[in-house]
Amino acid sequence: MTNILWFRNDLRLHDNEAFSQAIDNDSVLLVYIYDRTLIKRDTVSSFHLKFIEESLDDLSDELKEKFGATLNIYHSDTLDVFRDLLSRYQVKNVFSNRIFKEKSSQEIDDSCHSLFSSKGVKWIPV
């Protein structure tokens, strides 16, 4: 069985509870998704996107250096990415840190929760 660690706004390893829990389990697929809906929000600027890109580069380097692991980065709709991953892997759990009540994030969370439940996958937001 495979677990997924879904990096969201928590692009660090230090003090990352979802990461700590995920690596204590079976094999872990590390995922970040540039969700089309979220990137198009008025609150997302080129500076914000540059910060995310730099943070992902740093995170990717740290994962490779410390754990020999690869961060899988997707540019798509979150639900589409998870549909694909769940069709290709036997996923047991999805770990992530919580995002607190951004409307567009909440809609994505609700859709993902429904998908995970329908596939027997446990979502563990910490």
Strand partners, 33: 74
| Residue ranges covered by each domain of the chain | 2-125
pLDDT at 66: 95
Q: State the pairing for strand pair 91-96/2-7.
A: parallel
Kindly report, residue by residue over 22-42, the tens digit of the pLDDT. 988 679 999 999 887 776 666
> CA Rg, the chain, in Å?
14
Contacts of 117 by beta carbon, 8 Å cutoff, 6+ apart = none
Kindly report, residue by residue over 105-118, the tens digit of the pLDDT. 888 899 999 999 99
> How would residue 45 be classed by pLDDT, with cut points 50, 70 and 90?
confident
Query: Thinking of the domain 2-125, which architecture would CATH place it in?
Result: 3-Layer(aba) Sandwich (3.40)
